[in-house]
């Protein structure tokens, strides 16, 4: 249940500052109030909700700077995951799964452009790639830390925002990210741990551009900017 509510927050369906009503949320998700009630303190411990009143919660607002910094942190942690995966002697099956994920992605780009309908397909492919790298590291503590960072708006690899970027710009941005994916897989397969880590750390720039987080920070701050 916490996962479903978390996704509503990260996608901006539950907007920053919104009071989270158990009854309304339970009706939206088609469940009783009990699992919703149990999930809310979990999300508060992750920093996505903040206490209001005696027993209530509201969606916490995030600044663009926080999302920017969290994206950097995500790629540092994922870089360490890529390093650990590249050092595994039994990495071949994971490399094969990574290449399969890229095959799915190539089908998206084959027509030479992307459109709004491609958003879910790209998000699923990107989520699969990053999940395979993180889980492939075989480090449960590292995975928990990365999942906490993913909970910050704009940061999770399955969050894309085609409507925040001009249509003629999103295709080259995502193609660049896809080339980086291929390069990371090659480095992991070759056991080049330093190079795999470096490539993943550099991947943060593509992630920021794809979410419209490269704007100048001297513009007025927008607390809890909504995302697609």
Q: What would the DSSP string read from start to end of 150-171?
A: HTSTTTSTT---GGGS-HHHHH
**pLDDT per residue as tens digits for the range 59-76:** 988 777 887 888 889 989
The SS3 call for residue 122 is helix
pLDDT for residue 85: 98
Quote the pTM value: 0.72
Which of 143, 47, 123, 138 lies closest to 89 in space, CA to CA? 138
Q: What is the mean pLDDT of residues 134-144?
A: 96
Give the pLDDT confidence score for residue 3 in this predicted structure. Answer: 73
Alpha helices by DSSP H, listed for 87-118, are 92-109
Report the range of poorest mean pLDDT among 26-35, 42-51, 82-91.
Answer: 42-51
Q: Which residues contact 160 (CB under 8 A, 6 or more apart)?
A: 119, 122, 123, 126, 210, 211, 228
- Residue 112's H or E segment, with its range, is none
pLDDT tens, residue by residue, 207-220: 666 666 665 333 43
User: What's the CA gap between 198 and 184, in Å, rounded?
Assistant: 9
DSSP state for residue 75 in the 8-state scheme: H
């Amino acid at each position: 249940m916490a996962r479903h509510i978390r996704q509503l927050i990260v996608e901006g369906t539950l907007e920053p500052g919104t009071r989270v009503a158990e009854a309304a949320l339970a009706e939206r998700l088609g469940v009783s109030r009990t699992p919703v009630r149990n999930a809310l303190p979990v999300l508060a411990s992750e920093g996505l909700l903040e206490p209001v009143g005696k027993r209530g919660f509201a969606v916490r607002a995030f600044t663009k700077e926080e999302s920017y910094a969290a994206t950097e942190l995500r790629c540092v942690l994922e870089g360490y995951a890529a390093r650990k995966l590249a050092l595994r002697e039994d990495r071949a099956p994971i490399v094969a799964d990574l290449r399969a994920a890229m095959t799915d992605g190539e089908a998206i780009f084959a027509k030479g452009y992307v459109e709004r309908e491609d958003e879910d397909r790209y998000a699923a492919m990107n989520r699969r790639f990053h999940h395979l790298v993180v889980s492939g590291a075989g480090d449960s503590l590292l995975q928990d830390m990365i999942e906490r960072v993913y909970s910050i708006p704009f940061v999770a690899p399955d969050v894309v925002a085609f409507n925040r970027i001009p249509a003629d710009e999103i295709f080259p941005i995502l193609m660049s990210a896809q080339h980086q994916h291929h390069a990371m897989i090659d480095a992991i397969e070759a056991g080049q741990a330093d190079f795999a880590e470096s490539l993943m750390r550099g991947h943060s720039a593509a992630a920021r551009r794809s979410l419209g987080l490269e704007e100048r920070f001297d513009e007025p701050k927008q607390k809890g900017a909504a995302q697609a």
